[in-house]
A and B are shown apart, each in its own frame.
Chain A
Amino acid sequence: MPLHVRAPVQDAADAAWAALGQAGAWWTGTERVAIAEAARAAGPRPLWDRAPDIASASRHADGDDLSPFLALLVERVAVGPATLTRDDVQAIAQEIGDAAYAELASIVCQVVTIDQLAAALGHDFRPLPSPQAGEPTQVRPDGMADVGGHIEMTAENFGPNVGRSLSLAGDDHVRWRELVFTMYSGAEFFEMVWDSRALSRPQVELLAARTSALNECFY
């Protein structure tokens, strides 16, 4: 019997997927789909097998393809983010813009979430959306500040810092957060006892901690 996710999860995934093909704040629909494609192609390889050398890669793009530099950047964010230092990210941000970097990383997060869910459930990956015409809005979210991370994020925060990590990405960050909200804790993050779900909170946190350790994520 096929496995189905709840309606809020499906809705959040549908919204994220539809927006991938539309122009964002800093990337066109064509570029966003290319970023999504590169994130998918990066695959689930172990993080330590290589960290792509992006510094010397060509900045020239052919047609609708990403430049080798951007393709390797997507790959590094997708499978080697633990290797990114503040200096690395600030050099990248100086070249493409800090908000464009945040949007790129946020697209990667959305694709990885949805693809990983499909893989875990034994489902096929969704076809990527067709790119839509339109120009990036170039709107930078208000209220950003340097709070000690690699990039700026919202000065105001409620809850764990990861909740504002890519807030510089604006709408894409909101869509990714909705995926996280519907698929993980909902409104019960601060509740240590979950008694209305199939899994207990400790069971969920074991999965979470084991996955984070496999990703070698210190945070």
Chain B
Amino acid sequence: MLLGLSSGAIDETADLQSVIGNADAGIQAAAELSAFAEAAWRQDESLGGARAALRAAVGDAGLVEAAQTVAVFRSLNIAADSSGIPLDEDWKDAAAGFVGELGLDEFPTAANTPGY
């Protein structure tokens, strides 16, 4: 949801299918960002190349911010799922529009998420 809101705020339109790997997001360095997120998540042999490609696209500071974001969301997901936090009231309606479209309601945690 924040991807859509924040891209709209700077007059860009992010393709939300990129969230599930089905499209290029259509924002600057989207391909390198997605490849880095996937490689960093897997922590496999593809990470070195993905890191180098993203560094070339967004610079050292951008790469550090990207690494921080991936690290933070890995743990945010653990905190959310291990505690079973309810969906935020003000996000329910906004999320409804794209949850089914992206197949997010098929994630196991959809059933474990109070409020959905």
A residues with a Cβ closer than 8 A to B are 1, 3-6, 9, 43-44, 77-78, 81-86, 89, 102, 105-106, 108-110, 112-114, 116-117, 119-122, 147-151, 153, 160-162, 164-166, 176, 179-180, 183-184, 192-193, 197-219
Contact = CB atoms under 8 A, between A and B. Distances in A.
A84 B84 contact: yes
Given A205-B2, A209-B19, A217 B82 contact: no
Interface residues of B, number: 76
6 contacts: A112-B71, A149-B114, A193-B10, A197-B65, A215-B74, A219-B80
B6 to A, nearest CB: 4
B104 A82 contact: no
Contact of B75 (A83, A110, A202): A110
A81 B77 CA distance: 8
Interface of B: 2-3, 5-10, 12, 14, 18-21, 25, 27-30, 33-34, 36-38, 40-43, 47-48, 51, 58-88, 91, 102, 104-105, 107-116
Contact of B82 (A89, A113, A180): A89
A78 B78 contact: yes
Contacts of B47: 119-120, 122
Ranked 3 nearest A-B pairs via Cβ: A150-B84, A81-B81, A120-B67
